Chains A and B, each alone.
Chain A
Amino acid sequence: MAEITMIQAINEAMRQEMERDERVIVLGEDVGTNGGVFRATDGLLEQFGDQRVFDTPLAESGIIGTSIGLAVNGFRPIAEIQFLGFVYQAMDQLAAQAARIRFRSAGRFTCPIVVRSPYGGGVRTPELHSDALEALFTHSPGLKVVMPSNAYDAKGLLIAAIRDEDPVLFLEPMKLYRAFRMEVPEEPYEIPLGKARIVKEGEDVTIISWGATVPLVAKLAADMKAQGVDAEVIDLRCLQPLDIDTIMQSVEKTGRVMIVHEAVKTNGFGAEIAALISERALFSLSAPIVRVTGYDTPYPVPSVEDDWLPNAARIVEGVQTLMRY
């Protein structure tokens, strides 16, 4: 099995799905000749031609709008939004249109599109290139939201997203694109949307995370083990649909919960998880739920972003707080 990066896994998933299904097409800004600003679509134009891989004018609403039209009319577009911070331009097309076509027409028209977009901070990008906006989409009924944290999951989840009959936001932590390699099967495979992964089993505390923050949480959990705290780490992989069973089983076992995400705290998806746990397992908790997240401010300038992001110190401190109960 080859060891590849997440960006290579994403590229491979698209390539294999395009080989399998002629209806799959790729469009967006710079996805053609340039192969994407992160090279996610590298080589696709050469292999599949400009009828299936094409650059669009620079307009996010237009990209999603035309993708919807293509999807309603039989294609399966993979649209790239170059950075998630630019998706605000396309919110009507996503939340009010793509998300509702099946619902509005009682299933007569459907919109199987995948919107891929790099998100997340820590790589010194200019302004508005680092936002984690998953909660905008989990708050929009009709959209699925997938957030991989490694190459293996990225490939299997992207293939599942492309085969899905509904619109999927596929949010890729850009910090992790080339952060590490892992063994990824060469053949296509699907990871079902809505199945979390237990990164590390543990007894003392449950740490729930997704996307960009998972590798940090996993590393800290391994370190803590040496210090006598046995944390269970759950990588949700998919926020909509959410794997509630895996969360609940872990919470029942540990009684202590920390949620780590990059997005701002208030109304972040962590709030939803905390609410679900309080609805279903309040009396299994032995400590208040702790959230370690971005602050309730716009994503800051690069010179101070490391202090804004959930970092090792804040996560460790959060676990210590939980363990005092």
Chain B
Amino acid sequence: MERQFPIRQIMDEQGRIVEHEYRGQITEELVMAMYRHLIRTRTFDRKCVSLQRQGRIGPYVPFEGQEACQVGSALALEDEDWMFPTYRDHGAMMTFGRTLTQTLLYWKGRTEGCIPPQGKKIVPPYVPIATQLPQAAGAAYAEKRKGTKNAVIVYFGDGATSEGDFHEGLNFASVFNAPVVFFNQNNQYAISVPITRQMKSKTIAQKALAYDIPGIRIDGNDIFAVYFHTKQALERARNGEGPTLIEAVTWRYGAHTTSDDPSKYRDQEESKRRRETTDPIMRLERFMQREGFWDENWANDVQERVNAEVEQAVAEMDRYPSANPEDMFDYVFAEPTWTIAEQKQAYMEWKRGMEG
């Protein structure tokens, strides 16, 4: 199966293009946009870990190491497409249009973090592990029924492939020929459980065979492989050719969340080794150097601008008016039921009593 589903690269670890047919599409403009987004998401991610350590946001889910998966796939989308993310996909969400401030608010435990900018079809991140797959299939089928060219991307991890909803989602999408891309980030650990305990299958991509849809296994740290294969899958979807399963093989350097310690279940030397050899940002840098796109001053400028943007978002978060507990009674139904209205009233009276 590993032979049938080889890990595809367009650019190798040294930043060399190995699939030359893509060369013409790799414009300087595209590469610079990719680099900016990679730096932006990594800087933001590190900042969040630091904010969590300072107690300024709640428990945080880092994605460092997976930036190429998230940035590359999100850049492949069109504005009118749908995104069904998980709690680790804020890199993808930010690249697709969710603001940094909204993302910070999410991790600060604010509802505002679940509301995408107007018109952006980014649904609130999913917490159960494969729940979003059938929903994405349904949303995609809706686009097909409406006769649009819009597609849906849905994210999930390696652990999700053990859930029933993984199979139900792929099967429904396959039967309905729905325009959806199932984008798997195989970071090889579900919290502490390695992929070898998750499945006997050698690849995740091979699971596509069961649904008679294309399954593609790519190097998730090669942003070109991510971008172009996702784009092709989206094109297939738009052209009525149905769903695709993409397995992007990657690695999270850090913990599952800021509440766990990865050294308890794996040798963190491996993360160090990968950081030094297969890092997605380093690889793009190598490519840019090799191709003569690299400009140290420009890169410094990118980093400075990103730092400023992140700091501004943190400042906006800090300035945000505190959450109003009364809001928790709203939006359960279009019209509150009498029990909720009554409880809200009682809460407000109790609150006034406490304050008075």
Residues of A within 8 A of B (CB): 51, 56-57, 59, 61-62, 64-75, 89, 92-93, 96-97, 101-110, 141-142, 144, 164-166, 194, 240-242, 244
| Chain B residues within an 8 Å CB radius of A240 | 337
| Chain A residues within an 8 Å CB radius of B338 | 241-242, 244
B206 shortest CB reach to chain A, Å: 21
Alpha-carbon separation in the docked complex, A172 to B146 (Å): 31
- CB of B131 closer than 8 Å to a CB of A: yes
Q: B135's contact among A57, A59, A65, A141, by CB below 8 Å, is which?
A: A65
A23 shortest CB reach to chain B, Å: 10
Task: Report yes or no: B115 in contact with A106, Cβ–Cβ below 8 A.
Answer: yes
Task: Report yes or no: B111 in contact with A104, Cβ–Cβ below 8 A.
Answer: yes
Flag the segment in B3-11, B137-145, B233-241 that touches A.
Answer: B137-145
Residues of B within 8 A of A (CB): 82, 111-112, 114-116, 123-124, 128, 131, 133-143, 145-146, 164-165, 168-169, 171-172, 175-176, 327, 330-334, 337-340
Q: B116's contact among A67, A108, A194, by CB below 8 Å, is which?
A: A108
Task: Report yes or no: A69 in contact with B139, Cβ–Cβ below 8 A.
Answer: yes
| Chain A residues within an 8 Å CB radius of B331 | 102-103, 105-107
Task: Report yes or no: A73 in contact with B142, Cβ–Cβ below 8 A.
Answer: yes
| Chain A residues within an 8 Å CB radius of B136 | 69
Task: Report yes or no: A105 in contact with B123, Cβ–Cβ below 8 A.
Answer: yes
Task: Report yes or no: B334 in contact with A62, Cβ–Cβ below 8 A.
Answer: no
Task: Report yes or no: A66 in contact with B164, Cβ–Cβ below 8 A.
Answer: no
**3 closest A-B pairs (Cβ-Cβ)?**
A69-B138, A65-B134, A66-B138
A106 shortest CB reach to chain B, Å: 5
Task: Report yes or no: A61 in contact with B165, Cβ–Cβ below 8 A.
Answer: yes
Q: A62's contact among B123, B128, B169, by CB below 8 Å, is which?
A: B169
B196 shortest CB reach to chain A, Å: 27
User: Can you spell out 27 A-B residue pairs with CB atoms less than 8 angstroms apart?
Assistant: A51-B145, A56-B175, A57-B168, A59-B168, A59-B172, A61-B134, A62-B134, A65-B135, A65-B165, A65-B168, A65-B169, A69-B137, A73-B138, A73-B142, A96-B131, A103-B332, A105-B115, A106-B112, A106-B331, A108-B115, A109-B123, A109-B124, A141-B332, A240-B337, A241-B337, A242-B338, A244-B338
| Chain B residues within an 8 Å CB radius of A68 | 134-135, 138
A280 shortest CB reach to chain B, Å: 11
| Chain A residues within an 8 Å CB radius of B145 | 51, 75
Given contacts A66-B135, A96-B131, contact A102 B333 (CB under 8 A): yes
Alpha-carbon separation in the docked complex, A75 to B146 (Å): 10
Alpha-carbon separation in the docked complex, A107 to B333 (Å): 9
Q: B114's contact among A71, A93, A106, by CB below 8 Å, is which?
A: A106
Task: Report yes or no: A66 in contact with B141, Cβ–Cβ below 8 A.
Answer: yes
Q: B143's contact among A73, A108, A244, by CB below 8 Å, is which?
A: A73
Q: Nearest CB to that of A144 among chain B residues?
A: B333
Known contacts A59-B168, A106-B331; 13 additional CB pairs below 8 A are A57-B168, A62-B172, A65-B165, A65-B169, A66-B135, A67-B138, A70-B141, A97-B128, A102-B332, A102-B334, A108-B115, A240-B337, A242-B339
Q: Nearest CB to that of A107 among chain B residues?
A: B331
B20 shortest CB reach to chain A, Å: 39
| Chain A residues within an 8 Å CB radius of B123 | 72, 101, 105, 109
Task: Report yes or no: B333 in contact with A73, Cβ–Cβ below 8 A.
Answer: no
Task: Report yes or no: A57 in contact with B137, Cβ–Cβ below 8 A.
Answer: no
Task: Report yes or no: B333 in contact with A65, Cβ–Cβ below 8 A.
Answer: no
Task: Report yes or no: B142 in contact with A70, Cβ–Cβ below 8 A.
Answer: yes
Task: Report yes or no: A57 in contact with B172, Cβ–Cβ below 8 A.
Answer: yes
B154 shortest CB reach to chain A, Å: 10
Q: Nearest CB to that of A98 among chain B residues?
A: B135
A95 shortest CB reach to chain B, Å: 11
Alpha-carbon separation in the docked complex, A241 to B171 (Å): 36
A74 shortest CB reach to chain B, Å: 6
| Chain B residues within an 8 Å CB radius of A164 | 334
